[in-house]
Amino acid sequence: MKRFKGILWMAIGVILIGIFYIDQAPIVDAHTIDLIDKAHKINFDKYWSGFNINIYPVEIYKKNILKKDSTVRYYNDKFYEIKDKKPIYALSMDIDESGQAILLVTSARDFRSLSDVGNFNSSSADIYYQALIAHEAFHCFQADQGFYDVFSKEITIYEKSNVLTTVRKLDENSKYQKLWMDEMEKLIDYAKEDNIQNYHAYLNSYQNRLDFLYNNFKEEDVIEYLKYSNLYEKAEGSAKYIENITLSMLSGKDLEFDIISYGKGTSKYYDSGFLKTYILNKKDDLDWKTDFFKTDKTFEDYLLINYQ
C-alpha cells in the first residue's frame, strides 16, 4: 500500500511536468500571435497618416526549457526561428543588418509578468501589450523617416557632454520642478481646451522656465539641455501619443492628461511630448507632421508661432 502511494505520487509529478512540457508552444503561443495580429489591424490614419504597424517584422523572444532561448521572426503571417541571433528580452525596436526597422517583443505572458504589480487583469494586460507594440512600431516609423540615425548620433554626443550633469542638477532643483509642473498644468489646460487664454498661459509658463534656465546656467549649457529635451520629447512623446491613443481606442475610455509628479531623468519627456503632440494634432490647418522627423524641428517651433 505504501509503495503504491509512492508510485502514485511520482506518477502525479510526471504527469504534471509532462503537461507543462506539452503545453509549451512549438514556436510562439497563439495568444501572443493573436494580440500582435490585433495590433496590426489598428488603424492610425486619423491620428498619424502614413503610420502602419503591420509593415514591420516582429521578433519575439522565445523562452526555451531544454535549450537556449531564441528569437522567432514573425513577418507576413510566417514564422521562422533565428538560431544565430542573441535574443533581446524587451519591448523595443532595432534596425537589422539590412537596414530594416524591426519590432522586438516578449510573449504576451512575459510582458504581463514584467509589468504587473497587481494593477492588471488579463484583458487590461492585453490592451497594454498592444499599446506598447504600437509605441515601439512608431519608433520604427520614425526610423523610416531617418530619425533613428539622428537620435543615435545625438545621444552618443550627449553621453560625453555636460548635459547629463545639467539634467541631474535640474532634477534636484525644487524650483525647476515647480516650474516644469506648472508648464505641464498649462499644457494640460491647453490640451483640454484649445483657446487663446490657455495658449498665452502656456507661453508665459514656458517663458518662466526659460528665464530660470538662463538665469542659473551658462548659455551653452541651456542650449544643449533644450536640444536634449527636445530630442527626447520628439522621439518618446510622439510614440507615447500613439500608445495613449491605442489605450483609449482599445479600452473605450477617454484620453487622460494627468501628470501626478515630476519625473526624473527622461521619463518626464514622454508626458510633455504626448501633450504637445496632442495639442498640435488637434490643429487641423497646421501641417507639422509631414517633415517633423525628417528635420530638426521641435514641438516649440510649431507651438510658439502665433495662435491659430
Residues interacting with another protein, by CB under 8 A?
A: 9, 12-13, 16-17, 19-20, 23, 61, 69, 86, 88-90, 106, 109-110, 112-114, 116-124, 127-128, 131, 244, 247-248, 250-251, 253, 255-260, 271
Closer residue to another protein (CB): 89 or 214: 89
Taking the complex as a whole, the smallest distance from the CB of residue 12 to another protein amounts, in Å, to 6
Closer residue to another protein (CB): 79 or 120: 120
**54-75: string of b/e by CB count within 10 Å (b at 16+)?**
eebebbbbbeeeeeeebbbbbb
Taking the complex as a whole, the smallest distance from the CB of residue 105 to another protein amounts, in Å, to 13
From the CA atom positions of the chain, what is the Rg in Å?
Answer: 23
CA geometry: angle 80, 85, 90, nearest 5 deg: 90
Q: Which residues pair with residue 58 across a beta bridge? A: 74, 103
Nine-digit cell string for 138: 512608431
Parallel, antiparallel or unpaired: strands 58-62 and 78-82: unpaired
Taking the complex as a whole, the smallest distance from the CB of residue 64 to another protein amounts, in Å, to 10
Q: Which residues contact 119 (CB under 8 A, 6 or more apart)?
A: none
Distance between CA atoms of residues 280 and 242, nearest Å: 14
Taking the complex as a whole, the smallest distance from the CB of residue 232 to another protein amounts, in Å, to 18
Nine-digit cell string for 57: 517584422
Taking the complex as a whole, the smallest distance from the CB of residue 20 to another protein amounts, in Å, to 5
Q: Helix or strand or coil: residue 71?
A: strand
Closer residue to another protein (CB): 162 or 248: 248
Taking the complex as a whole, the smallest distance from the CB of residue 214 to another protein amounts, in Å, to 31
Nine-digit cell string for 201: 498661459
Closer residue to another protein (CB): 21 or 80: 21
Closer residue to another protein (CB): 147 or 190: 190
Closer residue to another protein (CB): 23 or 193: 23
